[in-house]
Amino acid sequence: MNVLSVTSEIYPLIKTGGLADVSGALPIALKACGVHTRSLIPGYPAVKSAVKDAHKVGEFPDLLGEHADILAGEHEGLDLLILDIPSLYDRPAGPYLDSTGKDFADNWKRYAALSLAAAEIAAGKLAGWQPDLLHAHDWQSAMAPVYMRYAETPEIPSLLTIHNIAFQGQFGANIFSELRLPAHAFSTESIEYYNDISFLKGGLQTATALSTVSPSYAEEILTPDYGMGLEGVIRARAQALHGIVNGIDAEVWNPAIDHLIQENYTAANLKLRAINKAAVANHFRVDHDNGPLFCVISRLTWQKGIDLIAEVADDIVEMGGRLVVLGAGEIALEGALMAAATRHPGRVGVAVGYNEPLSHLMQAGCDAIIVPSRFEPCGLTQLYALRYGCVPVVARNGGLNDTVIDANHAAVSAKVATGVQFSSVTPEGLRQALRRTMRYYRDPKLWTQMQKQGMKSDVSWEKSAGLYAALYTQLLSKGH
């Protein structure tokens, strides 16, 4: 089976969050299921400079008014199709934001072009390769099924995966004429959304099937609390909606071979964590002691509940813990965390920025990771934590609910607990969860039991890749 995956980021080439991890790992995991994936990605500078063997395999002379070349290349097991339009993608800074942190004004065009190129390839317009199915991710490629719907060629099945419904690709109706869609596409059954245009809504209306990245989140987005205005649209398509939990790249996140960790560190040897813990403490210039070292590795946003972290920093210190935070994002949240670090020298450390190697070291050395998200489609940091023996303390929603087993009385007795969950995502809810975590930490037998149980959790892609492959097969057999 040939699948065209369309994505705006892909690990290890370009990443702002979990979407990249997933779009980078899933194609590799799917190979074992007999699925061959080619990933269409924009030709950002980071992509073009890393993929050395990229060569031209096709072109679209007029893609929304731009000349586009399609380059093919391989990178670390990924089969890539690179959409090369220098006027749209050859820009410094991140994929979506300029150097001042603002969205590029032409993001609608950058991602409509990506989607249109995908639809053209789906329609067989790339010589020598025809996908059987198209898999789009988030708003940036959600227009692919829309373009497929209005194309003259027969449609192949499409799946749209929602990684984060908070980003919907909403733009003014004034761009409509430039999208080159037929006039009737501007309707509530398609991309029209309160007189504006929503790329995500268009994809939700037109894709053959929808999925999101955990079963709990698939339930949650049917409700106003989590649907972010799209719950009605999704409810109308509930029959076509699937929830498949993410896995992790077991090679990239492998405690047994992670070079930051002692060579003989294995899942069976927790004692070596102390060395990593000391290294983390050194990095963040916090004290060395026997109390728990809590960490946060996150985008600093409201979604991730980072304001709650700033609120409870004093409590963590008062309880005898230390806190280290690695993250980047909203300036106000960075400021609140820095203020906590200033109040508590030696007890709270903050590293602002994006640092992949440090994130590995923190998972390998910290005692617990706090993930107080207000909503979390899946969440990957708690999965890495489980594999590395770092105990997750998480809000009970979305993928956090599906992947961590709370240390309640029954779970502790049955020796199946892997972490701590809390349902009231408020400073007090988090404080109570931290008090509970402190109690467990002071019971070394219980703590070690939880770590070991977490390390045994199946966080691999194997099972979920099988579920995606089965879903693809089901969509193909419906004869679209």
- C-beta closer to ligand GLC: residue 156 or 326: 326
The answer for residues whose C-beta is within 8 angstroms of residue 372's C-beta and 6 or more apart is 304, 305, 306, 308, 309, 394, 395, 422, 425, 430
3-state helix, strand, coil in the chain (%, to 5): 40, 20, 35
Stretch touching ligand GLC by CB under 6 A, among 17-25, 150-158, 279-287, 335-343 = 17-25
Q: Is residue 377 near ligand GLC by the rule CB under 6 A?
A: yes
Q: Which of the choices ligand ADP, ligand GLC, none does residue 354 contact, using the CB cut-off of 5 to 8 A by kind?
A: ligand ADP
Q: Which of the choices ligand ADP, ligand GLC, none does residue 299 contact, using the CB cut-off of 5 to 8 A by kind?
A: ligand ADP
Residue 322 · residue 293 · CB < 8 Å: yes
Q: Which of the choices ligand GLC, ligand ADP, none does residue 213 contact, using the CB cut-off of 5 to 8 A by kind?
A: ligand GLC
d(C-alpha 70, C-alpha 4), whole Å:
14
- Backbone phi and psi for residue 201, each to the nearest 5 degrees, phi listed first: -60, -45
Q: Is residue 380 near ligand ADP by the rule CB under 6 A?
A: yes
Residue type, 95: P
- C-beta closer to ligand ADP: residue 208 or 214: 214
Q: Is residue 403 near ligand ADP by the rule CB under 6 A?
A: no
- Residue from 166, 240, 250, 328 binding ligand ADP (CB under 6 A): 328
d(C-alpha 121, C-alpha 83), whole Å:
11
- Residue from 10, 19, 348, 386 binding ligand GLC (CB under 6 A): 19
Q: Which of the choices ligand ADP, ligand GLC, none does residue 381 contact, using the CB cut-off of 5 to 8 A by kind?
A: ligand ADP
- Residue from 378, 450, 455, 459 binding ligand GLC (CB under 6 A): 378
- Residue from 84, 376, 402, 406 binding ligand GLC (CB under 6 A): 376
Tokens 């072109």 correspond to 59
Residue 480 · residue 157 · CB < 8 Å: yes
Determine how β-strand 78-84 pairs with β-strand 66-75: antiparallel
Q: Is residue 379 near ligand ADP by the rule CB under 6 A?
A: yes
Q: Which of the choices ligand GLC, ligand ADP, none does residue 328 contact, using the CB cut-off of 5 to 8 A by kind?
A: ligand ADP
Q: Is residue 7 near ligand ADP by the rule CB under 6 A?
A: no
Q: Is residue 380 near ligand GLC by the rule CB under 6 A?
A: yes
- Residue from 168, 198, 205, 246 binding ligand GLC (CB under 6 A): 246
Q: How far is the CB of 213 from ligand GLC (least distance, A)?
A: 4
For ligand GLC, the binding residues in 195-224 under the rule CB under 6 A are: 213
- Residue from 4, 6, 14, 22 binding ligand GLC (CB under 6 A): 22
Q: How far is the CB of 48 from ligand GLC (least distance, A)?
A: 24
Bridge partners (DSSP) listed for residue 331: none
Residue type, 8: S
For the chain, how big is the Rg over CA atoms in Å?
23
Q: 10 Å Cβ neighbour count for 353? A: 9
- C-beta closer to ligand GLC: residue 19 or 197: 19
Q: Where on the phi/psi map is residue 413: left (φ > 0), alpha (ψ -120 to 50), or beta?
A: alpha
d(C-alpha 245, C-alpha 25), whole Å:
13
**Site size with ligand ADP, rule: CB under 6 A:** 18
Kindly state the tokens that stand for 226.
């989590």
CA atoms within 13 A on the CB side of 386: 27
Which amino acids are annotated as binding site, given as ranges? Answer: 15
d(C-alpha 246, C-alpha 383), whole Å:
9
Distant-in-sequence contacts of 421-424, Cβ < 8 A, 24+ apart: 421/394, 421/395, 421/396, 422/372, 422/393, 422/394, 422/395, 422/396, 423/395, 423/396
SS3 407: coil
d(C-alpha 107, C-alpha 109), whole Å:
5
Residue 310 · residue 350 · CB < 8 Å: no
Q: Is residue 475 near ligand GLC by the rule CB under 6 A?
A: no
Q: How far is the CB of 259 from ligand GLC (least distance, A)?
A: 25
Residue 126 · residue 69 · CB < 8 Å: no
For ligand ADP, the binding residues in 263-322 under the rule CB under 6 A are: 297-299
- Helix ranges restricted to H, 129-264: 138-141, 143-149, 199-206, 215-220, 224-227, 231-236
Which amino acids are annotated as binding site for ADP-alpha-D-glucose, given as ranges? Answer: 15
Q: How far is the CB of 104 from ligand ADP (least distance, A)?
A: 20
d(C-alpha 315, C-alpha 93), whole Å:
37
- C-beta closer to ligand GLC: residue 18 or 292: 18
For ligand ADP, the binding residues in 237-256 under the rule CB under 6 A are: none
Encoded one letter per residue, x for contact with ligand ADP by CB under 6 A and - for no contact, window 346-375 reads --------xxx--x----------------
Q: Is residue 18 near ligand GLC by the rule CB under 6 A?
A: yes
Q: How far is the CB of 440 from ligand ADP (least distance, A)?
A: 23
Residue 268 · residue 456 · CB < 8 Å: no
* Residue showing the smallest CB distance to ligand GLC in the complex: 18
Q: List interacting residues with ligand GLC (CB under 6 A).
A: 17-19, 22, 163-164, 213, 246, 376-380, 399
Site residues for ligand ADP per CB under 6 A? 17-19, 21, 297-299, 326-328, 354-356, 359, 378-381
